[in-house]
Structure 1
Amino acid sequence: MNLEKEDVPRDLKGNAFDLPVDTEHKAKKIKLLSFARPHMRAFHLSWMSFFTSFLSTFAAAPMIPVIRNNLDLTKPELGNAGIAAVTGTIFCRIAMGVVCDTFGPRYGHAFLMLGTAPAVFGMALADGFTSFLLCRFFIGFSLATFVATQFWSSVMFNGKIVGTANATTAGWGNLGGGVTQFLMPVIYTGLLAYGPPFQAWRMAFFVPGSMHIVVGILVLFFAQDLPDGQYRECIKAGEMAKPNSLKIFLQGVKNYRMWCMVLTYGFCFGVELTMNNIIAPYLFDQFDLNIEIAGVLGSCFGLMNLFARSLGGLASDLTAQKYGMRGRLWALWIMQTLEGGLCIVMGRLYMTLPGTLVVMIMFSTVVQMSEGASYAVVPYISKRALGICSGFIGAGGNAGSSITQAIFFKGAYSTQDGISYMGVMIIGVTLLVIPIYFPMWGGMFCGPKEGVTESDYYLADFTEEEKAAGIAASVAKFAKEAASERAAVNRPEELSEKEKSPV
């Protein structure tokens, strides 16, 4: 009995874990109704933080019909403000990757939530195009919480479920983009009892602003960075080496797989950001709806995140059980190509509201599934530079949105034509999944290179001196667990037996 107690995995403070864990103390199960520290608390606080950032970043979109009249905004100015909302965070997401690798995801979340709160409250004081654009620009910085969210899930959950964990936290966070489409018009309508329209929309921004402060404090004081403890505690205990930021950064940017994913992610997550900016005004103008109805119908696009992104991560995990990483890549390519096709169709149905809505929901579902499938691949690109890779790929999503909005939705094309042309671009860029190749696992059309192991790939990021000093120890553990990404027929026998066991 005593021996059993000694064998129970514990963190640095001697606390037993609430969930079954692997050799890295990453959770092997997801218990959605639990808020236990560390795994599930990180899970829930990360999606809440990302949800809040989405809610505030796109809070202006469903109220554009009122705001544009109050501030005398033109269509090009509205387009520039929409681009600003997703452009500012491009560099912020890259920086967030460095922050996560160096200081931990908890500080990343808290800094962004608390640091961008003043810009959310500042929307109430906007008196023209410049102040409106600057507020949207700085609020958009908060979308970099996505990088910390995906980093946090990747270090908290085992490889067999990391696709589902990453997809669910990000999907529930993205849900804020759908909720805000109907929530902000409802808040605005309610506040009309206390002031005229041009005051009510300003007061409405106090709701997302307050959420920033509450969530930022919760993350900072009630969560931890890693399964074993905070970053500083793990470094002090010798469980991890003090990160070399420059070296990690260079390791990440030298990996071509990351750059392929930067571009492809720009045309799934980037497309979602673009649609969050244009969908409610498009329905309002094209089908002559009132602001509340347009907001509610537009919210259907974002509300698919309740399940769709998780579905993409789950589909990736299920294909990986039999086909390994090659299955994940095929799943991603199929989903995102289908996304492009449905985008084209949606643009062609501009004369029928029911047809537009049905295809919009199907389109939104595969957009979110593609995002989930993308971040089921990301944790395996580089273990040492996980934060850098997550940051750059997340930034690629925002860059994709900036590009699509600048090309298709600034007035050069009608909105419906812009949607269809965007679909063609999605299909073309998604072809970049094909060159992604892992020597120990293979790619879409090529098998693995004989004799190459996970340790060969992941430990190549370290010098012999670093290996001797034990700096690569945690990555060596990860490489051992990563053997699960081989096709089922190529996995080590002991791993196959372990998978068959009840845990």
Structure 2
Amino acid sequence: MAEGEFKPAAMGVEAAPKPPFRMPVDSDNQATEFWLFSFARPHMSAFHLSWFSFFCCFLSTFAAPPLLPLIRDTLGLTATDIGNAGIASVSGAVFARVAMGTACDLVGPRLASASIILLTTPAVYCSAIIDSASSFLLVRFFTGFSLASFVSTQFWMSSMFSPPKVGLANGVAGGWGNLGGGAVQLLMPLVYEVIRKVGSTPFTAWRVAFFIPGLMQTVSAIAVLAFGQDMPDGNYRKLHKSGDMHKDSFGNVFRHAVTNYRGWILALTYGYCFGVELAVDNIIAQYFYDRFGVKLRTAGFIAASFGMANIISRPGGGLMSDWLSARYGMRGRLWGLWVVQTIGGVLCVVLGAVDYSFGASVAVMILFSFFVQAACGLTFGIVPFVSRRSLGLISGMTGGGGNVGAVLTQVIFFHGSKYKTETGIKYMGLMIIACTLPITLIYFPQWGGMFMGPRPGATAEDYYNREWTAQEREKGYNAGCVRFAENSVLEGGRLGSQSKHTTVPVESSPADV
């Protein structure tokens, strides 16, 4: 057999002898348990590397807002300049996320993630030397590209964890990464104060402070390259070379992604959960400062609490998705997303309506943050099942939809808008409710949808096999999809889970396996 030729052994559905893992795995070597505080390779090490690298990128992207009063005074920025820069920070990642998804499908999440992180790091360091409104906008725009690492995070978790645990893994990794949006509200003022106390002037201190997120981002990329692994069985390059994995083409990946309507619906709905979260990150501190006259530090703490809710809200959404799946299958995942995101929209409307009360506004904002962030976790409890051949690009489309939603929301309701901020918040809530309705149209023939059961005789294997030609199936290129279909048996609900679900027990193995 020539080097790189796909192995005949991979043609069968039966798994080859399993390499030893410290965690129990299924027939596709995906972990069937989630050990949060473990660094077991390759599953849990990939989890910790992915969430931390995304956390660092979120930190860098939103490092400027907490220091805006200082940056504004130094550079003479207007409200329009600040608004444009805020939009630039999230718009840069729209196409970057789609490109990242394709890169994950073709070269693997390890190289894709490290590449975007290292390519955007110079922009973070350049934040220390900006001297005009245009340079401020440019560094925020290019730094925002790093948010595309979210796609590699979700792709990586979807490749490492079995279907019954993929919602939880995606939710925790995404939620802990998004913590960067809250942590940065506390970190950057603290770093600035420390630098000031050692003798720097305000002009110098805020510039030096940007080296902290820049350094963290650099270290995270090096760690991903040094300690990460694309798949449970190895890195893409090794698997392609050995013939254990089919090397796909961009055309096939692209075609199967853009022709799957479910991906477009999830991109739209994600635009009004994660997109709203990004928009709120940019406006909430200023809203409380202006509307209620609180101190800047108090407004910062309130804004930080919105982002910090991700530590439990997004993971909670992922856990809820898996819990609903175990009882009601894919239909439970869809109903859960629609209900939670709709409640988030209602609470957003209420937040805009209680602008007369500081206490009520804070309380409603905290409730709103839990629901809108949980909806993000619920979304990526569904995404891994839309397509296996184009999983990365589907993830990228969904993630990119989040950034598009953020840009549109800020442009329509906040930046240069005729509406007061509280009015914009109410209308944003109505948009959440309206843009969540298309979830009712998502239907999987083998599992059903919100209002319709599965099609008689339809199977998950048939659903995923349709992405492969007869010739490709004959060569065994679809073997991984067939194994995933077998491991997705619980998506049919309790009645659909009567067939055997195999878990490979933990084997004795060296600690570094």
Question: Could you tell me the TM-score, scaled by structure 1's length?
Answer: 0.95
1:485 lines up with 2:491 in the alignment: yes
Residue aligning to 2:323:
318
Larger deviation, residues 67-76 vs 271-280: 67-76
Q: Which amino acid aligns with 2:449?
A: G
Query: Which of 17, 21, 30 is the equivalent residue of 2:21?
Result: 17
Indicate if the aligned counterparts of 2:21 and 2:506 stay in contact, CA closer than 8 A.
Answer: no
Match of 1:192?
196
Unaligned ranges ≥5, structure 2: 1-14, 508-513
Hey, what's the Cα distance between the residues in 2 that align with 1:186 and 1:284?
19
- Measured on the aligned residues, the alpha-carbon RMSD in Å equals 1.7
Identify the match of residue 452 of structure 1 among 452, 458, 461. Answer: 458
Question: For 1:471, which of 473, 477, 483 is the aligned residue?
Answer: 477
What's the counterpart of residue 4 of structure 1?
none
Shift of 1:502: 12
Aligned to 1:439: 445
Supply the AA of the counterpart residue of 2:314: R
User: Hey, what's the Cα distance between the residues in 2 that align with 1:491 and 1:198?
Assistant: 63
- Aligned AA for 2:434? G
- Of 338-347 and 324-333, deviating more is 338-347
Q: Mapping of 1:267-306 within 5 angstroms?
A: 267-306=272-311
**Per-residue displacement from partner, 1:122-175 (whole Å, max 9, x unpaired)?**
111111110000000000000000000000000000000100000000000001
Query: Cα offset for 1:43?
Result: 0.2
Tell me what 2:4 maps to: none
TM-superposed deviation, 1:189: 2.0
2:327 is equivalent to residue 347 of structure 1 = no
Q: Secondary structure at the match of 1:161?
A: helix
Match of 1:235 in 2: 240
CA contact (8 A) 2:269 2:439 kept: yes
* 2:407 partner SS: helix
Alpha-carbon distance between aligned partners in 2 of 1:406 and 1:280, rounded to the nearest angstrom: 18
Query: Post-superposition shift, 1:9?
Result: 6.1
Residue 135 of structure 1 is matched in structure 2 by 139
Between the aligned partners of 2:180 and 2:378, the Cα distance in structure 1 is 20
Distance 2:17 2:232 in 1: 11
Cα distance in structure 1, aligned partners of 2:131 and 2:348:
36
Q: SS in structure 2 opposite 1:44?
A: helix
Decide which of 93, 105, 108 is 1:104's aligned counterpart. Answer: 108
Letter aligned with residue 311 of structure 2: L
The within-5 A match list for 1:118-267 is 118-193=122-197, 194-267=199-272
Distance in 2, Cα, partners of 1:479 & 1:377: 14
Distance 1:66 1:10 in 2: 57
Conserved 8 A contact 2:54-2:178: yes
Q: Which residue of 1 aligns with 2:46?
A: 42
Q: What displacement does 1:222 show?
A: 1.0
Task: Tell me the amino acid that sits aligned with residue 366 of structure 2.
Answer: I
Distance 2:434 2:65 in 1: 29
1:323 aligned partner, one-letter code: Y
- SS of equivalent residue, structure 1 residue 271: helix
User: One-letter code of the match for 1:347?
Assistant: G
Give the distance between the partners of 2:153 and 2:380, measured in 1 at CA.
11
CA distance in 1: counterparts of 2:477 and 2:157, whole angstroms? 22
Deviations 1:211-270 (A, max 9, x none): 011001000111110000110111222221011121111101100000000100000000
Q: What's the secondary structure of 2:329's corresponding residue? A: helix
Partners of 1:222 and 1:414 in 2: CA distance: 49
- Tell me the amino acid that sits aligned with residue 404 of structure 2: A
Structure 2 counterpart of 1:433, one-letter code: I
Question: Higher relative contact order by CA 8 Å / sep ≥ 6: 1 or 2?
Answer: 2
Q: How does 1:389-408 map to 2 (within 5 A)?
A: 389-408=394-413
2:468 counterpart (451, 462, 472):
462
Q: Say whether the 8 Å CA contact 1:61–1:281 is kept in structure 2.
A: no
Q: Helix, strand or coil: the match of 2:500?
A: helix
What is aligned with 1:3?
Answer: none
The aligned amino acid for 1:167 is G
Q: What's the CA shift for 1:68? A: 1.6
CA distance in 1, matches of 2:170, 2:224: 18
Rounded to whole Å, the distance in 2 between the matches of 1:37 and 1:156 is 10
Question: Partner residue of 1:368?
Answer: 373
Q: Structure 1: state its 5+ residue gaps.
A: 1-6
User: What is the CA deviation profile of residues 99-141 of structure 1, one whole-angstrom value per residue up to 9, with x for unaligned ones?
Assistant: 0000000011111221111100111111111000000000000
1:330 counterpart = 2:335: yes
CA contact (8 A) 1:181 1:280 kept: no
The aligned residue for residue 511 of structure 2 is none
Deviations 1:410-467 (A, max 9, x none): 1322111111110010000000100000011110001111011111110000000001
Q: What is the match of residue 88 of structure 1? A: 92
**Secondary structure, in 3 states, of the residue corresponding to 1:35?**
coil
Q: Could you list the per-position Cα deviations for residues 75-102 of structure 1 after superposition, in whole angstroms to 9, with x for gaps in the alignment?
A: 2221111110000110000000110000
Q: 1:9 to 1:276 in 2, by over 3 A?
A: farther
Deviates more, 1:115-124 or 1:72-81: 72-81
- Note closer, same or farther for the CA distance 1:274–1:9 as it changes in structure 2 (3 Å cut): farther
1:8 CA drift (Å):
11
Given that 2:151 and 2:395 are in contact with CA atoms closer than 8 Å, whether structure 1 keeps it comes out as yes
Look up the SS of the partner of 2:324 in the other structure. helix
Q: Does 2:65 correspond to 1:58?
A: no
Distance, in Å, in 2 between the alignment partners of 1:195 and 1:283 is 30
Say whether 1:411 aligns with 2:435.
Answer: no
Residue identity (%): 49
Q: Aligned equivalents of 2:357 and 2:477: distance in 1?
A: 60
Question: What SS does structure 1 have at the residue aligned with 2:441?
Answer: coil
Residue 37 (structure 1) shift: 1.3
Contact 1:186–1:292 (CA under 8 A) maintained in structure 2: no
